[in-house]
Structure 1
């Protein structure tokens, strides 16, 4: 098949419109239409159906779009590796991590990364879904569990635990619970059981929620829980990495915490020598060390390399 026609088909399928695809390709609508028609004739099939909202892929079109999407990702990866042969760190790096870790730990530190590499572009994808690194849905992942795919290079960054926190004003007004039983008399702010989260966090908070005598509040993100704690709504269950950037939080029941949640950084073998990936990896490792010194001085060193 003619690659130019496939490239135009991919643009049309992605945009859902001949006009929008033509604008991105700098081609007229009629030129795009001719190429799509020629491709359909060569395959002896119909790739699109017209709809009031634009063009809809047929079943055959969906199959071809999946193939061109994979090809495009591979070409993008190859182009990135070629660009990485230059000395300068630049270009796009697609990073995925959880909403909580991304908003509460990673994002506040990114200004220092951009100060080091002003030509680096970060596409940050914050979601609980595990994106497929070998399929190039992202370049680098920071995950709250060890990746299961054997072909990934991974490094254990640190261990996280979910703990209870309040702000000083809340404690002054309501007192500090000294026992787990006393916690039942306080308003708890926890993550919604139906929201995506690591199992250790859910298993930690649910017994306390079930035993609560007071009103409770659930939020579907740790950022929301943090805002509730900062504004004195109650005592919140939060990952202990928030202590680095929110030192005014008061730890409640210091001996009560969740099971260990390992944090891993991972990327595919073919990006081992990518200057952008290496720059990001080294930056995160340096920030982890700084974080340990400031927030968790008593924590054991857990950032050993699983693979160089």
Structure 2
């Protein structure tokens, strides 16, 4: 058998995973007739019927299901090849994508980007604000700041340290409800909760603060949104200390009880460690995060110029 055209294999894999030619054609940016011809060509070359056509749907045959696993392995090999090529790149000019949560994007990244613009201006920095864990293996991002340890064996994770978050309330909220001085004083208070609520309530209980489900009547997966609501006095919220320092009128509540540690993991792909561009950005981000953890200060404050000494 002659070599198999990778485009045919890619068409087959996309069609099998999407479940229809129309969905696969949109995914690959090909016309439906072109995709259909590529799948038919693969079936002819392999002498295997890959799909049964039931109305407008395509159902994998037993032979097709066996071929799909091989197609996925070929795709993984192609992705590894692309990663390896990117990792060997030595030039500095180009994109570096950083995946971070919306809170880190707002309160941490501006200071980091400012330094990157000063030190490596030829690099284009793309900040992807998402609370989902971007797939570094597929190059959705080159570097990620996560709050959990990566488990994928092909990823390198470095624990930089921890930031801290506490319960906060605005001066306006305290004026209406009084200043809580014990966990019992929070009974009946509206607590602005992170999604999933059950996990949030569990974390708070570990701190010694028990919440009834009726108290968590405002829920979001966006930290920035919850923090702005806290600032406006809608309820009590768990806010990162470095963010609260930039919001006048917020007061820390029950600091001995309500501290929530926020780990900072800096993650990249093993193959990309050989890229000079990504390595430089990685080192700058690591240094800035380390400074932030040690100082606990506003991440966007003006840094001392090189060589400056304390007065």
TM-score by length of structure 1 reads: 0.70
Task: Go from structure 1 to structure 2 and tell me whether the alpha carbon gap of 1:203 and 1:276 turns closer, same or farther (over 3 Å shift).
Answer: farther
Say yes or no: does 1:85 pair with 2:90.
yes
Report matched runs for 1:247-266 at 5 Å: 247-258=248-259, 260-266=261-267
What is the match of residue 209 of structure 1? Answer: 211
- Alpha-carbon shift at residue 229 of structure 1 (Å): 0.7
C-alpha separation in 2, matches of 1:100 and 1:247: 20
Q: CA RMSD in A?
A: 4.1
Structure 2: 5+ residue stretches without partners: 300-311
Confirm or deny: 8 A CA contact 2:183 2:254 kept in the other structure: yes
Aligned residues: 287
Confirm or deny: 8 A CA contact 1:81 1:274 kept in the other structure: yes
C-alpha separation in 2, matches of 1:235 and 1:19: 45
Structure 1: 5+ residue stretches without partners: 297-308
What is the match of residue 304 of structure 2? Answer: none
What is the match of residue 72 of structure 2? Answer: 66
Once the two structures are overlaid, the 10-residue window that deviates more, 176-185 or 119-128, is: 119-128
Confirm or deny: 8 A CA contact 1:201 1:258 kept in the other structure: no
SS of residue matched to 2:263: strand
Report matched runs for 1:1-308 at 5 Å: 1-10=4-13, 16-17=20-21, 21=25, 30-50=33-53, 59-60=65-66, 62-82=68-88, 84-88=89-93, 90-91=94-95, 93=97, 95-97=98-100, 99=101, 101-106=103-108, 112=114, 115=117, 117=121, 120=124, 122=126, 124=128, 126-128=130-132, 133=136, 138-148=141-151, 152-184=155-187, 186-194=189-197, 200=203, 203-204=206-207, 207-210=209-212, 215-221=215-221, 222-258=223-259, 260-288=261-289, 289=291, 292=295, 294-295=297-298
C-alpha separation in 2, matches of 1:56 and 1:125: 37
TM-score by length of structure 2 reads: 0.70
C-alpha separation in 1, matches of 2:152 and 2:201: 19
SS of residue matched to 2:206: helix
- Alpha-carbon shift at residue 39 of structure 1 (Å): 1.0
